[in-house]
A = this chain, B = another copy of it.
Amino acid sequence: MANKREVHASVKDEKLVKVRRDQMIKGAVSLFKEKGFHRTTTREIAKASGFSIGTLYEYIETKEDVLYLVCDSIYEEVKERLQESIDPKLGTIEGLKAAVEAYFRVMADMQDEVLVMYQEAKSLSKDALPYVLNKELQMVHMFEEILQGCVEKKELTMTESEIQLCAHNIFVQGQMWGFRRWALKSRFSLDEYIQMQTKFVLEGITNK
């Protein structure tokens, strides 16, 4: 599957396009966070981005393009930040723990962004959605690799299916902190949450 959907810009200067789109994404995220994609106007996006509505449309073709750009950029950032702090080759339980913790912390850190993406992604057209979902799978895949590594090093005994499902669970539990914070925050601190979820996951998979 192709990894990028190109969003067309009238402006030629690629550097400028990058700069403006970054402004745009930043402005849009905070608006989407506040009122959701549908309730946010293109005018508001333009304003929050620091330019006029005309300029906005020099860098996108459709309002939906903004959403795609936002989702794309959020995933990109999550991925980058994860890759900075994770070594999937380790193949140790400790490495797994560290990865889970790093992931949970990134998700907590980007709570707002994740929530936005989480709630608005479904507004993407049938056209753009696959690209975003694909990004998600890539991240799930990171955890699969880590688990796989542990299995290879005999640190864990898991079937291929168990690895897949467990990776999904980890991924969702990371998101959970964001999209269920209304329920979780009053009951757990982030540290508690991380520690407890890690425990559940590990006891769910380690040989006894």
A93 to B150, CA, bound (A): 30
Closest CB of chain B to A176's CB: distance in Å?
A: 6
Shortest Cβ gap from A118 to chain B (Å): 9
Minimum distance in angstroms from A48 CB to a CB of chain B = 17
Please give, as numbers and ranges, the residues of chain B lying within 8 Å of A172 by CB-CB distance.
Answer: 172-173, 176, 180
Beyond known contacts A165-B188, A172-B173: 10 more, CB 8 A cutoff:
A36-B122, A119-B119, A137-B183, A162-B196, A165-B196, A166-B200, A168-B176, A168-B183, A168-B184, A172-B172
Judge whether B200 and A205 touch: CB under 8 Å. Answer: yes
CA gap between A164 and B193 in the complex, in Å? 11
> What sequence of 0s and 1s flags, for each residue 180-208 of chain A, a beta carbon within 8 Å of any chain B beta carbon?
10111001100011001101110111001
Interface SS majority for chain A = helix
Closest B residue by C-beta to A137: B183
- On chain A, which size bracket covers the interface? 35 or more
A:3-62 near B, CB below 8 Å: 36, 38
With an 8 A cutoff between CB atoms, is A90 at the interface?
Answer: no
Known: A168-B176, A176-B172, A200-B169. A183 touches B36 (CB 8 A): no
Cα of A44 to Cα of B182 in the assembled complex, Å: 33
Q: Are A200 and B193 interface neighbours, CB within 8 A?
A: no
Residues of B near A137 (CB, < 8 A) are 183
Smallest CB–CB gap between A52 and chain B, Å? 11
Give the shortest distance, in Å, between A50 (CB) and chain B (any CB).
Answer: 17
